[in-house]
């Protein structure tokens, strides 16, 4: 009898453990990996404070992803530097391996091609989507489908896109589609010859539907480098990243599941130019894209995982520079530094003898500066600085290249640079550099497998965790 009871208990125990094993390893069928390029803790925090200021809240406003239940941080160093670039970090986030700065999807000896989690997911029968608000052959999206010795080999990366057979590429276009010297076969044409449908008008993009395979949807509102127009410039012809995520869900949702990587690429670009307002507008746009994934998660909460993180921080942005923080002041900036550079070029052409006051009227119009009613009056020292830069601007060509203006270094202070610098200071933001920093970045997770992120991780852990929760390994 005792033996019988023992056997009964033993078999029940085996049954229970078998059942719990089964329920301990449920799969995330739908995985979203959102990468805010350059989006460190303070890029997120400044956006929350900005939103709170606009909403009249004394405390913090939440973004969609700042409400996620699991929040941690992640180290980002590359194989050869404490300060990574987007290629090395993209490679880590896509393949789980460290490599040297500048290398894309390969090891440090440039002899081994790493397989990305997107490539593994495709092989295992998941649909795959790769989205970005910058060039689709840029480092971060490229890390998920390309393998090149250098991130600068844009044409070679573009040629690898159709070889992936991924189901959906969305957002940015190609950088250098016909090569650096514009003499090679058009990469868009190579993609269509390989069976991709190219949709690059609002109508064509909107008419894409579930069941369409091998889609390459390109925003009609992009710069020649394939990147979206700046959100802060609010140009109607440029579709939002959210538009492409929503379409992606429509195209990719299927019973076998999908993996979707979505990059908000211009947070980094804004922070390279120390443009806090542009960074905030890009982050808000990125958050709207997350909202589309969140709506999908609410339909399939047990089978969906959403991860939101960054590849590195850019600019060494700090909130609080020894003065009161007043992020609401950034609402008076209504133009990107890049577009302000263009505005100045046109203005100088039409008004070669413009006075200081006329130029400052432009600054006031686009940055609110020296408007006491907005709390943005300039100090005598600041006025002196503007006078110096104005004199240089109208004496020579310094600071007039609109494509260089917004990335200008400290040595060549331009009028857009100075406006940004003064506005940042008044809002309570300081910057360490015009480049990346080595500081850890935040990670937010929601859904099936979220507990894997409940500890400090490294960027190489992301694809390993995704592989595990999707059952790829």
- Residues engaged in binding Zn ion (CB under 5 A): 268
Tokens of 40: 């460190």
CA quadruple 135, 136, 141, 146: dihedral sign: negative
How far is Cα of residue 278 from the mean position of the Cα atoms in its chain?
A: 13
Q: Which residue has the tokens 């269509």?
A: 192
C-beta of 40 vs 248, nearer to Zn ion? 40
Q: How far is the CB of 303 from Zn ion (least distance, A)?
A: 34
C-beta of 37 vs 167, nearer to Zn ion? 37
Q: How far is the CB of 438 from Zn ion (least distance, A)?
A: 13
Question: By the 8 A CB rule, do 24 and 297 touch?
Answer: no
Q: How far is the CB of 75 from Zn ion (least distance, A)?
A: 17
How far is Cα of residue 402 from the mean position of the Cα atoms in its chain?
A: 23
Helix (H) or strand (E) holding 467: helix 461-470
CA quadruple 118, 96, 289, 225: dihedral sign: negative
* CA pair distance 147, 164, nearest whole angstrom: 11
C-beta of 102 vs 179, nearer to Zn ion? 102
* CA pair distance 191, 86, nearest whole angstrom: 24
C-beta of 141 vs 162, nearer to Zn ion? 141
* Listed residue (166, 125, 120, 129) closest to 250, CA to CA: 129
Question: By the 8 A CB rule, do 215 and 169 touch?
Answer: yes
* Listed residue (139, 121, 141, 123) closest to 131, CA to CA: 141
Region at 125 (left for phi over 0; alpha for psi -120 to 50; beta for the rest)? left
Q: How far is the CB of 312 from Zn ion (least distance, A)?
A: 7
Q: How far is the CB of 112 from Zn ion (least distance, A)?
A: 25
* CA pair distance 192, 181, nearest whole angstrom: 22
The residues, ordered by sequence, that sit 6+ positions from 296 with a Cβ below 8 Å of its Cβ are 30, 32, 249, 253, 304
Q: How far is the CB of 159 from Zn ion (least distance, A)?
A: 24
C-beta of 175 vs 249, nearer to Zn ion? 175
Q: How far is the CB of 139 from Zn ion (least distance, A)?
A: 9
C-beta of 248 vs 265, nearer to Zn ion? 265
Q: How far is the CB of 89 from Zn ion (least distance, A)?
A: 10
* CA pair distance 99, 87, nearest whole angstrom: 9
Strand-strand pairing, 258-264 and 127-132 = parallel
The closest residue (CB) to Zn ion is: 268
C-beta of 119 vs 285, nearer to Zn ion? 285
How far is Cα of residue 233 from the mean position of the Cα atoms in its chain?
A: 17
Q: How far is the CB of 268 from Zn ion (least distance, A)?
A: 4
* CA pair distance 9, 304, nearest whole angstrom: 36
Tokens of 342: 């263009």
Q: How far is the CB of 86 from Zn ion (least distance, A)?
A: 6
C-beta of 187 vs 262, nearer to Zn ion? 262
C-beta of 119 vs 227, nearer to Zn ion? 227
Question: By the 8 A CB rule, do 276 and 424 touch?
Answer: yes
- The strand ranges marked E within 359-437 are 429-430, 436-437
C-beta of 192 vs 433, nearer to Zn ion? 433
Phi/psi for 74 (5° steps) reads -140, 135
C-beta of 160 vs 268, nearer to Zn ion? 268
Tokens of 300: 């399939």
Q: How far is the CB of 152 from Zn ion (least distance, A)?
A: 13
* Listed residue (191, 275, 197, 263) closest to 227, CA to CA: 263
Q: How far is the CB of 285 from Zn ion (least distance, A)?
A: 18
Q: Count other C-beta atoms under 10 Å from residue 409's C-beta.
A: 11
C-beta of 268 vs 287, nearer to Zn ion? 268
């Amino acid at each position: 009898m005792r033996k019988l009871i023992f056997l009964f208990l033993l078999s029940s125990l085996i049954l229970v453990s078998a059942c719990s094993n089964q329920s301990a390893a449920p799969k995330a069928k739908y995985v979203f990996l959102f990468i805010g390029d350059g989006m460190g803790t303070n890029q997120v925090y400044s956006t929350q404070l900005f939103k709170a200021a606009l909403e009249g809240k004394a405390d913090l406003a939440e973004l969609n992803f700042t409400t996620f239940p699991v929040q941690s941080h992640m180290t980002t160093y590359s194989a050869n530097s404490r300060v990574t670039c987007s290629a090395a970090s993209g490679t880590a986030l896509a393949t789980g391996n460290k490599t040297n700065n500048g290398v894309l999807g390969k090891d440090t000896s440039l002899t081994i091609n790493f397989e990305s989690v997107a490539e593994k997911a495709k092989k295992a029968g998941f649909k795959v989507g790769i989205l970005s608000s910058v060039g689709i052959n840029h480092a971060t999206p490229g890390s998920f489908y390309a393998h090149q010795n250098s991130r600068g080999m844009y044409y070679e990366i573009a040629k690898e896109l159709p070889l992936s057979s991924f189901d959906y590429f969305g957002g940015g276009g190609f950088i250098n589609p016909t090569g650096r010297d514009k003499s090679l076969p058009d990469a868009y044409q190579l993609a269509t010859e390989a069976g991709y449908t190219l949709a690059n008008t609002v109508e064509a993009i909107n008419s894409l539907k579930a069941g369409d395979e091998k889609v390459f949807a390109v925003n009609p509102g992009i710069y020649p480098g394939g990147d979206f127009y700046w959100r802060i410039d609010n140009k109607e012809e440029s579709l939002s990243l959210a538009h492409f995520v929503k379409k992606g869900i429509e195209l990719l949702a299927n019973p076998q599941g999908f993996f979707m990587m979505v990059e908000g690429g211009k947070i980094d670009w804004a922070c390279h130019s120390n443009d806090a307002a542009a960074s905030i507008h890009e982050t808000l746009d990125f958050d709207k894209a997350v909202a589309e994934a969140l709506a999908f998660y609410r339909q399939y909460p047990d089978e969906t995982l959403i991860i939101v993180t960054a590849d590195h921080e850019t600019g060494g942005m700090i909130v609080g520079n020894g003065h009161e923080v007043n992020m609401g002041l950034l609402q008076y900036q209504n133009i990107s530094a890049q577009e302000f550079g263009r505005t100045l070029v046109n203005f100088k052409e039409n008004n070669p003898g413009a006075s200081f006051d006329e130029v400052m009227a432009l600054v006031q119009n686009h940055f609110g500066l020296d408007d006491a009613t907005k709390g943005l009056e300039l100090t005598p020292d600041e006025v002196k600085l503007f006078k110096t830069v104005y004199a240089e601007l109208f004496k020579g060509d310094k600071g007039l290249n609109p494509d260089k203006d917004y990335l200008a270094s400290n040595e060549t202070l331009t009028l857009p640079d100075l406006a940004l610098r003064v506005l940042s200071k008044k809002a309570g933001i300081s910057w360490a550099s015009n480049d990346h920093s080595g500081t850890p970045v935040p990670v937010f997770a929601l859904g099936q497998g979220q507990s894997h992120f409940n500890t400090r991780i490294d960027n190489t852990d992301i694809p390993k965790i995704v592989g595990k929760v999707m059952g790829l390994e």
